[in-house]
Amino acid sequence: MPRIAIYLRQSKAVEGDELAIDRQRENCLARATGKGWTVDNAAIYVDNNVSASSEKVRPAYQRMIADVKARKFDVVIAWNLDRLTRRPREIEDWIDLNERYGVNLMTSEGTEPIDLSTETGRLMLRVTSSVARMEVERKGRRQKESNAQSRELGLPPTGRRAFGYSALGAGAKGVQSTRLGAGGTEYPAYGHEPIVEEAAAIRRGFDLLLAGASLGTVARAWTASGLTTTTGKAWGQNTVRGVLTNPRYAALVALPREMGTTGHRANRYDLAALTPGGWEPIVGVETWTAASEILRDPSRRKTSGAPRRWLLSGLATCAVVVEGGGVCGAPMKAGATRDKVAVYRCSASYHLARKADVADELVSHTVMARLSRSDAVELLANHEAPDRAALSAELTALQARLGNVADLVADGTLTKDQARSSVARLRGQAAELTARLTDAGKVDTLGPLIHAANIREAWAALSVDVQRAVVAALYRVEFATPGRGTRPPADDEGRRDHTRRSVALIPR
Ligand SMILES: [Zn+2]
């Protein structure tokens, strides 16, 4: 007859999921009886009003572990693993205890209780430990957040006023009155309202970035509008980055800095970790997400803030046929001739040089013509902008469901196996939604150009950075010699024509 121990725990009433000790005892005893085992009353360990995830010592639990190590028992029975412990490390410990002291762990709940003597049992234990870890992190996060209540109320971060918004009023938590925001939506009247001029600059900044402009370009645009940071400093790449990665502008509440488990900043601004705030957004969630994706791409960090005057510099390539066949392929760089004429030159060799203004004009015209065609909308990856509001709502719902999985396991609605596949499925869906939202942000930027009433004006209003991004999205641009043995004409009009015939635009 194996020697049996039973562990029972009642958690704090505030958790609201406590299971009476008596019911647990009854259930665990039934499990033992079902096997034909008897249990000594002295071998029933009880912790009352102790949370399983608490850092505090659970006296009965510790006593039982000591007894297990003294080889006093062959089997330990608990109602379920959450009753036993919610500390993932302690769950893992049971695999060691099983190996070293031969003690088996069993649960009495459900149709397929855990039995550590089987491989399936050990697998289930590990899955449970992961789910438990998730719940502990979630709970710990909630408790430790210095500003948890504000966050749950969807209040903006406190502290210095943020660029784009007026200061948050004192006692914002208690504010009940509302004000009308843009589009007639009501928002809480606790301050933190968009400042028209700054908000417009922020929107323009997001637009520029999404269209391919550098952070430096955005900084110059804001400075040109006479704007500074809220501390009165001139805009630079880092301060602009700080604004364009800040979820505040999409009315999203970030996690506090210290809560990230890895790479604080990245985690803090991970869409999956953000919750909706109650204040008026300046940009949509999809726009913010798309911008974050761009700024998170490390290749962007190398982008210099130097202005690019010429449309095709570094964008177009040399297509002169080289020895042995094939084309050169080197990027064309902007430069000037001795008599100060701007030209694009092959950056690898003396293959060719062509008039820069003529080439830019030709490419601009081609792009405008392409974008004003009735089928221009087909150019967008998604033929129409996805329903962003629906996508956002779906994502929020998914996140809530992810958060509930641990609860569903704890109350027995889901088995561990179901929980595991459920978590994997939900995560996959969330990733897909995030990708679609990102796409939606891009549609947002190219869309207005395509639907512009006057394409020429819309194009001219774009910075060269943005124009370059549009060109690159539509065409590959190559420079080649127009026909064998042609020599550049001597007269100006001849040269211009020669340049035009040298440029090839290959649709992507
Ligand atoms: Zn070349």
Hey, what are 211's tokens?
């269209």
Average pLDDT over the chain, rounded to whole? 78
The most confident of the ranges 155-164, 204-213, 301-310 is 155-164
State both tokens at 364: 């601009």
Of residues 4, 228, 185, the one with CA closest to residue 106: 4
Measured in Å, residue 493 CA sits from the centre of ligand 1 at 24
Closest alpha carbon to 79 in 335, 411, 380, 403:
411
* Dist. CA 487 → ligand 1 center (Å): 16
Q: How far is the CA of 369 from the centre of ligand 1 (A)?
A: 28
Tell me what the mean pLDDT of segment 156-174 comes to.
83
pLDDT score, position 17: 46
CA–centroid distance, 165 to ligand 1, in Å, is 51
Structure-block tokens of residue 173: 């938590």
* 334 Cα: distance to centroid of ligand 1 (angstroms): 13
Three-state secondary-structure class, residue 51 = coil
* 508 CA distance to ligand 1 middle (Å): 21
Query: How many angstroms separate the alpha carbon of residue 348 from the centre of ligand 1?
Result: 5
Which of 243-247, 286-290, 347-351 is most confident?
Answer: 243-247
Band (230; pLDDT cuts 50, 70, 90): very high
For the segment 100-113, what is each residue's pLDDT rounded down to a tens digit?
Answer: 898 998 888 765 56
No. of H helices and E strands in the chain?
17, 14
pLDDT of residue 306: 47
For residues 128 and 90, the answer to whether their CB atoms sit within 8 Å is: no
Pairing assessment for the beta strands 44-48 and 4-10 based on DSSP bridges: parallel
Per CATH, is 149-168+188-302 categorized as 3.40.50.300?
Answer: no
The pLDDT of residue 198: 93
| Encoded tokens for 258 | 């210290």
Q: Which residues contact residue 256 at a Cβ distance below 8 angstroms, ignoring those fewer than 6 apart?
A: 145, 146, 147, 268
Ligand 1 centroid to Cα of residue 329, in Å, is 6
Confidence class for position 307, pLDDT limits 50, 70, 90: very low
Q: In this model, does residue 15 exceed pLDDT 50?
A: no
**What does the pLDDT read at residue 181?**
80
Q: How far is the CA of 379 from the centre of ligand 1 (A)?
A: 30
Which residue's entry shows tokens 């001219």?
A: 460
- Report residue 379's pLDDT band, with 50, 70 and 90 as the boundaries: low
Give the environment of ion ligand 1: residues with CB less than 5 A. Answer: 318, 320, 328, 330, 346, 348, 351
Q: pLDDT digit string (tens) for 28-59? A: 999 899 889 999 999 999 888 666 555 567 88
Question: What is the spatial distance between Cα 58 and Cα 52, in angstroms, rounded to a whole number?
Answer: 8
**Segment 349-370, tens digit of pLDDT:** 888 899 999 999 999 999 888 8
* Ligand 1 geometric centre to CA of 324 (Å): 14
* Ligand 1 centre distance from Cα of residue 308 (Å): 21
pLDDT bucket at 386, cuts 50 / 70 / 90: low
Band (pLDDT 50/70/90 cuts) for residue 16 is very low
pLDDT grade for 446, boundaries at 50, 70 and 90: low
Sign of the CA dihedral with 49 first, then 54, 55, and 58 last: positive
What is the DSSP annotation of 231-258? TSPPP-HHHHHHHHT-GGGGTEEPPPGG
Cα separation, 466 vs 463, in Å, equals 5
**Contact, 435 vs 428, CB < 8 A?**
no
Domain boundaries, the chain: 4-144, 149-168+188-302, 317-381+453-507, 388-442
CA of 446 to the centre of ligand 1 (A): 32
Q: What fold is seen in the domain 4-144? A: Rossmann fold (3.40.50)
Better-scored residue on pLDDT, 126 or 238: 238
- The lowest-confidence range among 158-162, 220-224, 374-378 is 374-378
In 3D space, the residue among 250, 217, 247, 212 whose CA is nearest the CA of residue 235 turns out to be 217
